[in-house]
A and B are shown apart, each in its own frame.
Chain A
Amino acid sequence: EPEVTQTPSHQVTQMGQEVILRCVPISNHLYFYWYRQILGQKVEFLVSFYNNEISEKSEIFDDQFSVERPDGSNFTLKIRSTKLEDSAMYFCASSSSAYNEQFFGPGTRLTVL
């Protein structure tokens, strides 16, 4: 069964450093998303991506964040200068159409020291 994959599973970084989180969505899906979940809190939407451009972003997704689809399979989230409060689980998700179910990857746990 096709699934969303994410790498790395755990990333530890120093405050102020740049990190890139990687995702491979399900191959025939067209819509891609990033969410985050701070420990003990709810899942929060960051950004959605369709047709090689951002279609929607939340208030959390400020200028420190960017997304890219560098090739036909990968979808990345870059945080330019990490802050302590960026420590969270980051989930990538994909869906086949705008109203359909979103399928989540296993997540990347980001720890900012």
Chain B
Amino acid sequence: QKEVEQNSGPLSVPEGAIASLNCTYSDRGSQSFFWYRQYSGKSPELIMSIYSNGDKEDGRFTAQLNKASQYVSLLIRDSQPSDSATYLCAVNHDNYGQNFVFGPGTRLSVLP
């Protein structure tokens, strides 16, 4: 069974703080990892992709991947109220990269 797990939250952080979102996956063969943001009633919006172990930074966002621990995380620095949303972790499990398995999402609330 291909599983992607996330804490459902809500995760509440004060404005300006660092938000840390975590995701674990079950399939060791997973190759591609993505973070999406989803506002209520809207579609998933891609934030970042990460394919190799280590950190990847893009503006206020840093994705971290540890394939040995089957763990991927997203750090949001200087959190803003507009970052309040559900954050979805998506993992590619298929050899041909066509099947994303999504986690249930973590709801983030940034308090002004």
CB-CB under 8 A from A105, the residues of chain B are: 43
Q: Give the nearest-CB partner of B103 in chain A.
A: A42
Q: Do A99 and B92 touch (CB < 8 A)?
A: yes
A-facing mask of B57-101, CB < 8 A → 1, else 0? 000000000000000000000000000000010101010111111
Bound CA span A102–B31, Å: 14
Q: Judging by beta carbons under 8 Å apart, are A91 and B98 in contact?
A: no
| Partner pick for A91 among B44, B99, B101, CB 8 A cutoff | B44
* A residues in contact with B51, CB < 8 Å: 99
- Interchain CB contact (< 8 A) of B99 among A41, A48, A104, A106: A48
Task: A112 to B49: give the CA distance in the assembly, Å.
Answer: 35
- CB < 8 Å neighbour of A55 from B32, B36, B90, B98: B98
Partner of A42, one of B45, B99, B102: B102
Distance A33 CA – B45 CA, assembled complex (angstroms): 15
- Nearest CB of chain B from residue A64's CB, rounded to whole Å: 20
**A1 proximal to B (CB < 8 A):** no
Pick from A41, A97, A100, A106: contact of B43, CB under 8 Å: A106
- Bound CA span A48–B94, Å: 12
Q: Does A103 contact B (CB under 8 A)?
A: yes
Please name all residues of chain B whose beta carbon is closer than 8 Å to the beta carbon of A31 when the two chains form the complex: 98
- Across the interface, do B43 and A56 meet the contact criterion of CB distance under 8 Å? no
Whole-angstrom CA separation of A85 from B51 in the bound complex: 35
Cα separation A45 to B97 with both chains bound (whole Å): 13
Contact A45 B101 (CB under 8 A): yes
Residues of chain B within 8 A (CB-CB) of A107 are 42-43
Q: Find the residue from A31, A98, A105 having the highest chain B CB count within 10 A.
A: A98
Contact with B along A43-67 (1 / 0, CB 8 A): 1110010100001101000000000
A43 to B37 Cα, complex, angstroms = 12
Q: For residue A42, which residue of chain B has the nearest CB? A: B104
Whether A99 touches B97, Cβ cut-off 8 Å, given contacts A42-B103, A44-B102, is yes
- Residues of chain B touching chain A, judged by Cβ–Cβ distance below 8 Å, are 31-32, 34, 36, 42-46, 49, 51, 88, 90, 92, 94, 96-105
